[in-house]
Structure 1
Amino acid sequence: MKWQNPWYDAAKPHHTPEGFRNPEPDLRQPGDLQRWRKERKAQGLPLPPRQGYEAFTQQWWQQADLSGEQDCVWWLGHAAIMLRLDGRYGLIDPALSPRISPLRFYGPKRKTPVPLAINDLPSLDWVLISHNHYDHLDRPTINAILRRFPQVQFIVPLGLEPWFRRAGARHVVQLDWWQQTQRHGITFHAVPARHWSMRTLYDRNRSLWCGWTITTAKLNFWFSGDSGYSEKLLDIARRLGPFNLAALPIGAYAPKWFMQGQHMDPQQSVALHQAIGAPVTIPVHWGVFELADEALDEPPRELARALEAVNQSKMRFRPWIIGERASLNNINQE
């Protein structure tokens, strides 16, 4: 019997009876995946960083510093973000395993160390997940969270609650685009993204993908999640902005002919950064896993070129070091 979407709402264009879809047209053609795999194998891509992996780690990695009590944001590498708000910790897309794969012995391997372990956290109040790809929804990390913090609140896109219940999570809220929930003075909005979902050969687009906004009295943060560029993303800023902090992807964009429908390149991220008012922006989705054809150290160089091309300040959209933190009070003053 064909699977039917139990959350289907005919009034919503991103819903289908069989799952979910992007409002934008699909840019991929049949055979594109095989073409990409053949071309990257023939060209030996991705290449290592210019100075090698060890030098890259020395330049772009540090242990996360949890000292102090001030409100802070940390970039934990790839798309993983941590926030401390009023002494409460939250995580976004924590993927802290050696591999991001259904198999422990095969699949994309971490090229830089994790900047912190779940056991390093003094507490954990909430976890946001943007979608079910393995580099964003990492089962070993979720298991570690549930062992240490069984009362943690998971906030996930529509269709992922059953996965978390099966994993043993006690507190799960799932949201559709533009829906919200509150916790301890924080408002979480699920917002659109141009992407897709798949965890097995049989569940493509059966759960939703999204970005998140996190709003308090002092913070209005947009985490875009994985997303290709779309003019529709500007609706997020119009409806929920202005933002004083954002996290936009700059990696896994090569080759552009294959990746552009699901991942922004640095030029598109810079255009989006400017269009939403140039808030302090954390470049994410780079520096840890080799998921596309560009080298690990190419995204920050390409970001610098993109900013120079439009005469945009590099200070508000500069590459962070994995494990780096910033005080939210300082962000609000920039």
Structure 2
Amino acid sequence: MTQQSESTTGTTIRETDEPPLPSPLAPPHPPLAEPRPLAERRVWPRTFHDRLTAPLPGLKAMARFAREGAVRPGPEGLADIPRLPYAPAPLPRVDARTVAVTWAGHASWVLRIGGLTVLTDPVWSRRILGTPARITPVGVPWEDLPRVDAVVISHNHYDHLDAPTLRRLPRDTPVFAPAGLARWFHRRRFTRVTELDWWEAAELDGVRFDFVPSHHWSKRSLTDTCHSLWGGWVLTDRDGRRVYFAGDTGYGHWFSRIGRRYPGIDLALLPIGAYDPRWWLRDVHCDPEEAVRAAQDLGARRMAPMHWGTFVLSAEPVMEPLTRVRAAWEKTGLPREDLWDMPVGASRVLSGG
């Protein structure tokens, strides 16, 4: 499959799923982009529909979903809510040579890297639009957070871009956002918003923030479908340690391409929930087995599952994602200790050397 994308200059860029085989003199992976200026004002296309890797559901799919789709699990699938893993604990003490992650729930992580505290898709609200209240509390009380040095946003869906949470932040907090989303933040008086296209990067205090593709889409109102981009983030510290935050994504070719461009990913934060019914959600949400396969495509040394056990967004039983991801990981033969299947509120640390 060949895709077309439009640069900010209006030039059409063609990207194939698989690049041509490298010559013996070629570098092992494509060179990384030079970091762009922070808070740069940019002009983008009105729509990013050309970046979709699968068509959005049409009328026939909507009609089928109305007939046979399930939005929530049945009573048996909800019965395990009291068993959902929740183990809040104080944040670990870190220094600039330490990488640590704490799962606050859903796609919200407190990521400590290169001496910075970074929040990913922060949602500290009890409810989000159109969804029942969260079924596990937030794993990190807001008042226990250290100073937030940066926020990364994967896309504008309400369970990833939460206005009430972001209002708690100082308006000069650096924000890294997908192309086309800065105006949302500017309307809320954020002053240091850096929006990036796929494969672009910016740098903050020695930590590199690369925006990478995902198999997803964007929409926040009836009239803004795909008006902003969607993707994941690769954060790299001065010592070359890398954390990949996938945001929200289906399974597909982008994982192997990200792995080739960013070799040596130490930890991949990958979504494993909100996948049933499969025919409806396959293109935009990984199931647990696909998430494990994605970790292998990335060449990631470790995987931490997310995007499950916090909000009830689809029809699978609430504990099923964890059971299935553990089984899929075991089948690979990879070391059990490299699956960081953490309770909400728990932390894991990669020490520097």
Tell me the TM-score range normalised by the shorter chain. 0.7 to 0.9
1:62 to 87, 91, 104: 87
- Does residue 99 of structure 1 match 2:127? yes
The equivalent of 1:178 in structure 2 is 199
Q: Summarize the alignment of residues 276-295 of structure 1 with structure 2, pairs less than 5 Å apart.
A: 276-295=298-317
Q: Structure 1 pair 34/239, CA: closer, same or farther in 2 (3 Å)?
A: same
Instruction: Report the Cα distance in structure 2 between the residues aligned to 1:168 and 1:46, rounded to whole angstroms.
Output: 42
Aligned partner of 2:221 in structure 1 is 200
Task: Tell me what 1:161 maps to.
Answer: 182
User: What does residue range 254-273 of structure 1 map to in structure 2 within 5 Å?
Assistant: 254-273=276-295
- Partner residue of 2:230? 209
Instruction: After TM superposition, list the pairs within 5 Å mapping 1:66-77 onto structure 2.
Output: 66-70=91-95, 71=98, 72-77=100-105
Q: TM-score normalized by structure 2?
A: 0.82
Q: 2: distance between equivalents of 1:132 and 1:166?
A: 14
Partners of 1:6 and 1:166 in 2: how far apart?
A: 25
Amino acid in structure 2 at the alignment position of 1:293: A
Deviations 1:287-331 (A, max 9, x none): 1011111122110111122223333333212421111111121xx
Name the counterpart of 1:52. Answer: 80
Give unpaired runs (5+ residues) of structure 2. 1-5, 16-43
RMSD across aligned positions (CA): 2.5
- CA distance, structure 2, for counterparts of residue 303 and residue 26 of structure 1: 27
- The structure 2 residue matched to 1:123, chosen from 129, 147, 155, is 147
Higher helix share: 1
Do 1:245 and 1:280's aligned partners in 2 also have CA atoms closer than 8 Å? yes
Q: Which string of whole-angstrom CA distances, capped at 9 and with x for unpartnered residues, describes residues 209-259 of structure 1?
A: 011000011421111111111123211111122211111111111111111
Counterparts in 2 of 1:308 and 1:63: CA distance versus 1, 3 Å: closer
Q: 1:55 Cα shift?
A: 3.1
Aligned AA for 2:331?
Answer: A
CA distance in structure 2 between the aligned counterparts of 1:8 and 1:160, rounded to whole angstroms = 18
Q: Which residue of 2 aligns with 1:78?
A: 106
- Asked whether 1:229 is paired with 2:251, we answer yes
Match of 2:19 in 1: none
SS at match of 1:293: coil
Per-residue CA deviations over 1:92-130 (Å, capped at 9, x if unaligned) read 1111111111xxxx5332111011233322311100000
Are residues 1:325 and 2:343 paired?
A: no
Aligned to 2:49: 20
Indicate if the aligned counterparts of 1:226 and 1:262 stay in contact, CA closer than 8 A. yes
Question: 1:21 aligns to what SS in structure 2?
Answer: helix
The residue number in structure 1 matching 2:164 is 140
* Displacement of 1:21: 3.5
CA distance in 2, matches of 1:44, 1:169: 36
The Cα offsets for residues 104-162 of structure 1, whole Å up to 9 and x where unpaired, read as xx5332111011233322311100000000010011101112xxx33210000000000
Give, in whole Å, the separation in 2 of the partners of 1:27 and 1:165. Answer: 29
% identity of equivalent residues: 34
Structure 1 CA distance for aligned equivalents of residues 74 and 139 of structure 2: 24
Shift of 1:35: 2.6
Of the structure 1 ranges 152-161 and 46-55, higher mean CA displacement relative to structure 2 is found in 46-55
- CA distances 1:52-84 after superposition (whole Å, capped 9, x unpaired): 32232xxx1122412523432111111111112
Q: Give the number of aligned pairs.
A: 316
Deviation at 1:195, TM superposition (A): 0.2
Deviation at 1:275, TM superposition (A): 2.4
Q: Determine the structure 1 residue equivalent to 2:12.
A: 11
Q: Structure 1 311/85 Cα, relative in aligned 2: closer, same or farther at 3 Å?
A: closer
Stretches of structure 1 that go unaligned for 5 or more consecutive residues are none
Alpha-carbon distance between aligned partners in 1 of 2:52 and 2:219, rounded to the nearest angstrom:
18
Using the TM superposition, give the Cα deviation of residue 29 of structure 1 relative to its aligned residue in structure 2, in angstroms: 4.2
The answer to whether the 8 A contact 1:8-1:16 is kept is no
Amino acid at match of 1:189: D
Cα distance in 1 for partners of 2:77, 2:337 equals 24
